[in-house]
Amino acid sequence: MTNLPVRALGPYAVSSIGLGCMNLNHAYGTPPSLEDATALLNRALDLGITLLDTAALYGLGENERLIARAVMHRRSEFTLTTKCVLDFVDGKRSLDGSPGSIARTVEGSLARLGTDHVDMVYLHRLDRRVPIEESVGALVRLKDQGKIGAIGLSEMSAATIRRAHAVHPIAAVQSEYSPAVRNPEMGVLDTCRQIGAAFVAFSPVARGLLAGAVRQADYAEHDIRAGMPRFTEPNLAHNLHAVRAYEALAAEIALTPAQLSLAWVLSRGDHVVPIPGTRSIAHLQEDVAAATVTLDDAVCARIDAIFAPGAIRGARYAAAMQAQIDTETLPDEELA
Protein backbone atom coordinates (compact mmCIF):
# COMPACT_ATOMS: atom_id res chain seq x y z
CA MET A 1 0.00 0.00 0.00
CA THR A 2 1.21 3.50 -0.86
CA ASN A 3 1.41 6.04 1.95
CA LEU A 4 -0.44 9.24 1.17
CA PRO A 5 -0.42 12.46 3.20
CA VAL A 6 -2.81 12.24 6.14
CA ARG A 7 -5.49 14.62 7.41
CA ALA A 8 -7.85 14.47 10.37
CA LEU A 9 -11.46 13.38 9.98
CA GLY A 10 -12.77 13.80 13.50
CA PRO A 11 -11.01 11.14 15.57
CA TYR A 12 -9.62 9.39 12.48
CA ALA A 13 -6.47 9.97 10.45
CA VAL A 14 -7.30 9.46 6.77
CA SER A 15 -5.60 9.89 3.43
CA SER A 16 -5.76 13.51 2.27
CA ILE A 17 -7.76 12.34 -0.75
CA GLY A 18 -10.59 9.89 -0.16
CA LEU A 19 -12.92 8.09 -2.53
CA GLY A 20 -16.55 9.00 -3.07
CA CYS A 21 -18.21 5.70 -3.96
CA MET A 22 -21.58 7.03 -5.16
CA ASN A 23 -21.05 6.81 -8.89
CA LEU A 24 -20.24 3.10 -8.71
CA ASN A 25 -23.99 2.53 -8.33
CA HIS A 26 -25.78 5.83 -8.62
CA ALA A 27 -26.47 9.06 -10.51
CA TYR A 28 -24.27 8.88 -13.61
CA GLY A 29 -25.95 6.52 -16.05
CA THR A 30 -25.32 2.79 -16.26
CA PRO A 31 -23.05 1.67 -13.39
CA PRO A 32 -19.93 -0.42 -13.96
CA SER A 33 -20.00 -4.17 -13.58
CA LEU A 34 -19.54 -5.69 -10.14
CA GLU A 35 -16.15 -6.99 -11.28
CA ASP A 36 -14.97 -3.56 -12.44
CA ALA A 37 -16.32 -1.75 -9.37
CA THR A 38 -14.65 -4.30 -7.10
CA ALA A 39 -11.34 -3.88 -8.90
CA LEU A 40 -11.52 -0.09 -8.54
CA LEU A 41 -12.26 -0.18 -4.81
CA ASN A 42 -9.39 -2.56 -4.17
CA ARG A 43 -7.04 -0.49 -6.31
CA ALA A 44 -8.01 2.58 -4.28
CA LEU A 45 -6.90 0.82 -1.11
CA ASP A 46 -3.72 -0.38 -2.82
CA LEU A 47 -2.92 3.24 -3.75
CA GLY A 48 -3.21 4.33 -0.13
CA ILE A 49 -6.72 5.77 -0.03
CA THR A 50 -8.02 5.15 3.48
CA LEU A 51 -11.40 6.92 3.35
CA LEU A 52 -14.42 5.41 1.59
CA ASP A 53 -17.66 7.40 1.49
CA THR A 54 -21.06 5.86 0.80
CA ALA A 55 -24.73 6.44 1.75
CA ALA A 56 -27.91 4.50 2.30
CA LEU A 57 -29.47 6.21 -0.72
CA TYR A 58 -26.79 5.35 -3.28
CA GLY A 59 -28.11 2.74 -5.66
CA LEU A 60 -31.00 2.13 -3.22
CA GLY A 61 -28.58 0.34 -0.91
CA GLU A 62 -26.51 -1.34 -3.61
CA ASN A 63 -23.48 0.88 -2.98
CA GLU A 64 -23.23 -0.33 0.59
CA ARG A 65 -23.70 -3.93 -0.55
CA LEU A 66 -20.93 -3.41 -3.10
CA ILE A 67 -18.53 -2.22 -0.42
CA ALA A 68 -19.43 -5.22 1.72
CA ARG A 69 -18.67 -7.65 -1.10
CA ALA A 70 -15.63 -5.84 -2.49
CA VAL A 71 -13.51 -4.63 0.43
CA MET A 72 -14.91 -5.44 3.85
CA HIS A 73 -12.36 -8.24 4.06
CA ARG A 74 -9.83 -5.35 4.17
CA ARG A 75 -11.78 -3.44 6.84
CA SER A 76 -8.72 -2.54 8.91
CA GLU A 77 -7.30 -0.55 6.00
CA PHE A 78 -9.94 2.19 5.71
CA THR A 79 -12.27 4.57 7.49
CA LEU A 80 -15.86 4.03 6.36
CA THR A 81 -18.55 6.70 6.33
CA THR A 82 -22.20 6.46 5.34
CA LYS A 83 -25.28 8.70 5.56
CA CYS A 84 -28.87 8.75 6.76
CA VAL A 85 -31.98 10.99 6.46
CA LEU A 86 -32.02 10.42 2.70
CA ASP A 87 -33.07 6.82 2.23
CA PHE A 88 -35.38 4.74 0.09
CA VAL A 89 -38.82 3.45 1.04
CA ASP A 90 -40.61 0.98 -1.23
CA GLY A 91 -37.95 1.66 -3.87
CA LYS A 92 -38.43 5.43 -3.79
CA ARG A 93 -36.24 8.22 -2.44
CA SER A 94 -37.37 9.61 0.90
CA LEU A 95 -36.18 12.40 3.22
CA ASP A 96 -36.89 11.84 6.90
CA GLY A 97 -34.79 13.26 9.73
CA SER A 98 -36.94 11.93 12.56
CA PRO A 99 -35.10 9.91 15.20
CA GLY A 100 -36.99 6.72 14.39
CA SER A 101 -36.20 6.96 10.70
CA ILE A 102 -32.53 7.71 11.38
CA ALA A 103 -32.25 4.63 13.59
CA ARG A 104 -33.90 2.45 10.94
CA THR A 105 -31.67 3.80 8.18
CA VAL A 106 -28.48 3.22 10.14
CA GLU A 107 -29.55 -0.30 11.07
CA GLY A 108 -30.21 -0.95 7.38
CA SER A 109 -26.78 0.37 6.46
CA LEU A 110 -25.07 -1.82 9.04
CA ALA A 111 -26.91 -4.85 7.71
CA ARG A 112 -26.00 -4.12 4.08
CA LEU A 113 -22.38 -3.43 5.03
CA GLY A 114 -22.23 -6.63 7.09
CA THR A 115 -20.92 -4.94 10.22
CA ASP A 116 -22.07 -3.78 13.65
CA HIS A 117 -20.14 -0.49 13.55
CA VAL A 118 -19.42 2.24 11.01
CA ASP A 119 -16.86 4.96 11.61
CA MET A 120 -19.04 7.97 10.80
CA VAL A 121 -22.63 8.67 9.83
CA TYR A 122 -23.63 11.96 8.22
CA LEU A 123 -27.06 13.53 8.24
CA HIS A 124 -27.29 13.54 4.43
CA ARG A 125 -29.70 16.48 4.27
CA LEU A 126 -31.56 18.77 6.66
CA ASP A 127 -35.16 17.74 7.20
CA ARG A 128 -36.73 21.13 7.88
CA ARG A 129 -39.70 19.44 9.56
CA VAL A 130 -37.45 18.14 12.36
CA PRO A 131 -35.24 20.33 14.59
CA ILE A 132 -31.59 19.61 13.81
CA GLU A 133 -31.08 18.99 17.52
CA GLU A 134 -33.44 15.99 17.39
CA SER A 135 -31.73 14.51 14.34
CA VAL A 136 -28.29 14.88 15.90
CA GLY A 137 -29.64 13.44 19.14
CA ALA A 138 -30.63 10.27 17.29
CA LEU A 139 -27.05 9.84 16.10
CA VAL A 140 -25.72 10.54 19.60
CA ARG A 141 -27.79 7.62 20.89
CA LEU A 142 -26.43 5.35 18.14
CA LYS A 143 -22.92 6.48 19.02
CA ASP A 144 -23.54 5.72 22.69
CA GLN A 145 -24.67 2.23 21.62
CA GLY A 146 -21.35 1.72 19.82
CA LYS A 147 -22.92 1.51 16.37
CA ILE A 148 -21.22 4.63 14.98
CA GLY A 149 -17.95 6.32 15.84
CA ALA A 150 -18.55 9.94 14.89
CA ILE A 151 -21.22 12.32 13.60
CA GLY A 152 -21.18 14.37 10.41
CA LEU A 153 -23.43 16.70 8.43
CA SER A 154 -23.92 17.11 4.68
CA GLU A 155 -25.04 20.16 2.67
CA MET A 156 -25.82 22.29 5.72
CA SER A 157 -25.30 25.98 6.46
CA ALA A 158 -22.93 27.51 9.00
CA ALA A 159 -25.86 28.36 11.28
CA THR A 160 -27.20 24.79 11.22
CA ILE A 161 -23.73 23.38 11.81
CA ARG A 162 -23.36 25.47 14.96
CA ARG A 163 -26.75 24.35 16.27
CA ALA A 164 -25.81 20.72 15.64
CA HIS A 165 -22.39 21.15 17.23
CA ALA A 166 -24.01 22.52 20.39
CA VAL A 167 -25.67 19.11 20.85
CA HIS A 168 -22.61 16.97 20.10
CA PRO A 169 -19.21 17.65 18.50
CA ILE A 170 -19.50 17.45 14.72
CA ALA A 171 -16.55 15.57 13.24
CA ALA A 172 -17.03 16.51 9.58
CA VAL A 173 -19.21 18.53 7.25
CA GLN A 174 -19.60 17.47 3.65
CA SER A 175 -20.56 19.73 0.76
CA GLU A 176 -19.73 20.36 -2.88
CA TYR A 177 -16.53 22.37 -3.36
CA SER A 178 -14.24 22.98 -6.32
CA PRO A 179 -12.71 25.95 -8.15
CA ALA A 180 -16.07 26.31 -9.91
CA VAL A 181 -18.30 25.88 -6.83
CA ARG A 182 -17.50 28.29 -3.98
CA ASN A 183 -20.56 28.17 -1.74
CA PRO A 184 -18.63 26.78 1.28
CA GLU A 185 -16.54 29.96 1.33
CA MET A 186 -19.61 31.87 2.52
CA GLY A 187 -19.20 30.50 6.04
CA VAL A 188 -19.02 26.72 6.18
CA LEU A 189 -15.27 26.40 5.62
CA ASP A 190 -14.48 28.85 8.42
CA THR A 191 -17.10 27.34 10.73
CA CYS A 192 -15.56 23.89 10.29
CA ARG A 193 -12.14 25.29 11.12
CA GLN A 194 -13.46 27.06 14.21
CA ILE A 195 -15.24 24.01 15.66
CA GLY A 196 -12.47 21.58 14.75
CA ALA A 197 -14.43 19.68 12.10
CA ALA A 198 -13.08 18.37 8.82
CA PHE A 199 -14.58 19.77 5.64
CA VAL A 200 -15.15 16.94 3.17
CA ALA A 201 -15.38 18.24 -0.41
CA PHE A 202 -17.55 16.12 -2.66
CA SER A 203 -17.56 16.66 -6.43
CA PRO A 204 -14.11 18.32 -6.20
CA VAL A 205 -13.80 18.18 -10.00
CA ALA A 206 -17.29 19.71 -10.41
CA ARG A 207 -19.06 16.54 -11.54
CA GLY A 208 -16.54 16.09 -14.35
CA LEU A 209 -16.69 19.68 -15.58
CA LEU A 210 -13.11 20.22 -14.40
CA ALA A 211 -11.91 16.81 -15.54
CA GLY A 212 -12.51 17.07 -19.27
CA ALA A 213 -15.66 14.95 -19.02
CA VAL A 214 -18.25 17.53 -20.10
CA ARG A 215 -18.16 19.06 -23.55
CA GLN A 216 -21.85 19.16 -24.40
CA ALA A 217 -25.16 18.28 -22.81
CA ASP A 218 -25.33 14.76 -24.24
CA TYR A 219 -25.65 12.83 -21.01
CA ALA A 220 -26.53 9.17 -20.70
CA GLU A 221 -29.92 8.10 -19.43
CA HIS A 222 -30.20 8.48 -15.64
CA ASP A 223 -27.30 10.97 -15.48
CA ILE A 224 -28.25 13.57 -12.86
CA ARG A 225 -26.39 16.32 -14.71
CA ALA A 226 -29.15 16.34 -17.31
CA GLY A 227 -31.37 17.96 -14.70
CA MET A 228 -28.84 20.41 -13.29
CA PRO A 229 -29.15 23.96 -14.67
CA ARG A 230 -25.44 24.66 -14.92
CA PHE A 231 -24.91 21.49 -16.95
CA THR A 232 -27.62 22.22 -19.50
CA GLU A 233 -28.13 24.88 -22.14
CA PRO A 234 -27.93 27.79 -22.38
CA ASN A 235 -25.79 27.83 -19.23
CA LEU A 236 -23.39 25.06 -20.23
CA ALA A 237 -22.05 26.88 -23.33
CA HIS A 238 -21.33 29.93 -21.17
CA ASN A 239 -19.67 27.85 -18.44
CA LEU A 240 -17.39 26.07 -20.89
CA HIS A 241 -15.66 29.38 -21.68
CA ALA A 242 -14.25 29.40 -18.14
CA VAL A 243 -13.50 25.68 -18.32
CA ARG A 244 -11.39 26.13 -21.46
CA ALA A 245 -9.33 28.86 -19.78
CA TYR A 246 -8.90 26.62 -16.76
CA GLU A 247 -7.78 23.69 -18.89
CA ALA A 248 -5.19 25.90 -20.58
CA LEU A 249 -3.79 26.83 -17.17
CA ALA A 250 -3.59 23.17 -16.16
CA ALA A 251 -1.68 22.33 -19.34
CA GLU A 252 0.67 25.25 -18.77
CA ILE A 253 1.74 23.87 -15.37
CA ALA A 254 1.83 20.23 -16.55
CA LEU A 255 -1.16 18.99 -14.54
CA THR A 256 -4.36 17.39 -15.72
CA PRO A 257 -7.46 19.51 -15.08
CA ALA A 258 -8.60 17.05 -12.40
CA GLN A 259 -5.23 17.20 -10.64
CA LEU A 260 -5.28 20.98 -10.66
CA SER A 261 -8.76 21.00 -9.15
CA LEU A 262 -7.86 18.52 -6.42
CA ALA A 263 -4.63 20.34 -5.58
CA TRP A 264 -6.58 23.60 -5.35
CA VAL A 265 -9.16 22.03 -2.99
CA LEU A 266 -6.38 20.63 -0.81
CA SER A 267 -4.79 24.09 -0.64
CA ARG A 268 -7.91 25.59 0.93
CA GLY A 269 -6.97 24.37 4.41
CA ASP A 270 -5.45 21.47 6.29
CA HIS A 271 -8.94 20.51 7.45
CA VAL A 272 -10.18 19.97 3.87
CA VAL A 273 -10.45 16.42 2.49
CA PRO A 274 -11.66 15.97 -1.11
CA ILE A 275 -13.47 12.77 -2.07
CA PRO A 276 -13.47 12.50 -5.87
CA GLY A 277 -15.44 9.68 -7.42
CA THR A 278 -14.52 7.77 -10.55
CA ARG A 279 -15.21 4.53 -12.40
CA SER A 280 -11.80 4.51 -14.07
CA ILE A 281 -8.66 3.10 -12.45
CA ALA A 282 -6.57 5.37 -14.68
CA HIS A 283 -8.47 8.41 -13.40
CA LEU A 284 -8.18 7.10 -9.85
CA GLN A 285 -4.39 6.96 -10.18
CA GLU A 286 -4.41 10.44 -11.69
CA ASP A 287 -6.43 11.74 -8.73
CA VAL A 288 -4.14 10.17 -6.15
CA ALA A 289 -1.11 11.81 -7.77
CA ALA A 290 -2.60 15.20 -6.86
CA ALA A 291 -2.13 14.49 -3.14
CA THR A 292 1.45 15.72 -3.22
CA VAL A 293 1.01 18.70 -5.60
CA THR A 294 1.60 22.15 -4.13
CA LEU A 295 0.22 25.19 -5.94
CA ASP A 296 1.79 28.61 -5.61
CA ASP A 297 -0.23 31.72 -4.84
CA ALA A 298 0.01 32.99 -8.41
CA VAL A 299 -1.68 29.89 -9.81
CA CYS A 300 -4.43 30.08 -7.19
CA ALA A 301 -4.98 33.74 -8.07
CA ARG A 302 -5.34 32.84 -11.73
CA ILE A 303 -7.91 30.18 -10.85
CA ASP A 304 -9.84 32.75 -8.84
CA ALA A 305 -9.80 35.09 -11.81
CA ILE A 306 -11.04 32.40 -14.20
CA PHE A 307 -13.93 31.56 -11.88
CA ALA A 308 -14.76 35.10 -10.84
CA PRO A 309 -18.45 35.79 -10.03
CA GLY A 310 -20.53 35.26 -13.16
CA ALA A 311 -18.14 32.79 -14.79
CA ILE A 312 -20.47 29.92 -13.89
CA ARG A 313 -24.18 30.32 -14.52
CA GLY A 314 -27.04 28.18 -13.29
CA ALA A 315 -27.97 26.60 -10.00
CA ARG A 316 -26.23 23.53 -8.61
CA TYR A 317 -29.54 21.69 -8.45
CA ALA A 318 -32.96 21.88 -10.05
CA ALA A 319 -35.55 23.66 -7.92
CA ALA A 320 -37.04 20.55 -6.28
CA MET A 321 -33.62 19.28 -5.20
CA GLN A 322 -32.40 22.74 -4.18
CA ALA A 323 -35.32 22.91 -1.74
CA GLN A 324 -33.63 20.10 0.23
CA ILE A 325 -30.29 21.95 0.43
CA ASP A 326 -29.47 24.09 3.47
CA THR A 327 -26.14 25.49 2.27
CA GLU A 328 -25.64 29.17 1.57
CA THR A 329 -26.23 30.35 -1.99
CA LEU A 330 -24.04 32.90 -3.75
CA PRO A 331 -25.54 36.35 -4.39
CA ASP A 332 -25.68 35.86 -8.15
CA GLU A 333 -26.56 32.16 -8.09
CA GLU A 334 -29.62 31.29 -10.12
CA LEU A 335 -31.98 29.06 -8.20
CA ALA A 336 -34.15 27.80 -11.05
Q: Which residues are catalytic?
A: 58
Closest of 112, 171, 118 to residue 146, by C-alpha? 118
Alpha-carbon gap, residue 201 to 197, rounded angstroms: 13
For residues 155 and 126, is the Cβ–Cβ distance under 8 A? yes
In terms of Cβ atoms closer than 10 Å to its own Cβ (0-12, 13-18, 19+), residue 102 is: buried
End-to-end Cα distance, the chain: 45
Amino acid sitting at position 56: A
Alpha-carbon gap, residue 31 to 43, rounded angstroms: 18
Q: Residue 175, Cβ neighbours under 10 Å: how many?
A: 24
CA angle 260, 33, 29 (to 5 degrees): 60
